[in-house]
A = this chain, B = another copy of it.
Amino acid sequence: MPRRHWEDFSPGQITDCGSRLVTREEIIAFAAEYDPQPMHLDEQAARGTLLGGLVASGWHSIGILMRMLSDDFIGRSNFLGSPGLDEVKWLAPLRPGERVSARATVLETRASRSRPDVGFVTFRLELLDAAGKPLLAMVLSPMFGRRPAGAASGAGQGAAGRP
C-alpha cells in the first residue's frame, strides 16, 4: 500500500486505530519514570486523592494514544513531525484494565507557505474507552510530505477514512 502524503488528507476524514488493554503494571512503570505522583503509583495512596483510585498519568495516556496512531496510521504516511500542540483536555481518568482505542479526525489542511514540499494537517486526536467515550482529546497539527509529481495516491477513493 502506498504511503499517505499531505494530499491524501481532507477535512472530516476519521481514522479509527487499534485497541489496547492498559495494565496496572504499565501505568505504574510509566509514572515511576516520568510522573511519580501518588495517584499514578500506588493504589492505596491513590484512594485518598481526588480521583479515588489508581489512574494513568495524563502524559502516559498521550503516549498510549500516540503509539496506537503511530502503528496504524502515522507510520504509514510521510509524517515529518510537529512543531507544537494546540490543546490537550484530559476528560476522564484512564484506569487499569481499560481497553482503549484511538481516533484521528482531520479538522483542516494547509500547504506550507515557506516549503513547497510540505503541508500541515490539523487533527483532533482522541483516546476512547471501551464504550467509545473520550478520555483524552487533543489538537495537533503535524507536517506531512507532499506527493512528488507522478507518484501514486496513498488512499483510494472512498478508502481514505477508516482503514
Contacts and interface: CB of A to CB of B under 8 A. Distances in A.
A89 interface: yes
A44 interface: no
Given A59-B62, A62-B59, A66-B59, A37 B81 contact: yes
A22 interface: no
Nearest to A32: B67
Contacts of A33: 63, 67
Interface of A: 33-37, 39, 49-51, 58-59, 62-64, 66-67, 70-71, 74-75, 79-90
Contacts of A85: 85, 87-88
How many protomers of this protein does the assembly include? 2
A84 B89 contact: yes
A58 B64 CA distance: 14
27 contacts: A33-B67, A34-B64, A34-B66, A35-B66, A35-B70, A36-B67, A37-B70, A37-B75, A37-B81, A39-B81, A49-B80, A50-B80, A50-B81, A58-B81, A58-B82, A59-B59, A59-B62, A59-B63, A63-B63, A83-B89, A84-B87, A85-B85, A85-B87, A85-B88, A86-B87, A87-B87, A88-B88
A66 B32 CA distance: 12
Given A36-B70, A37-B70, A84-B88, 12 more contacts: A33-B63, A34-B63, A35-B67, A35-B70, A37-B74, A49-B80, A50-B80, A51-B81, A58-B82, A59-B62, A85-B88, A88-B88
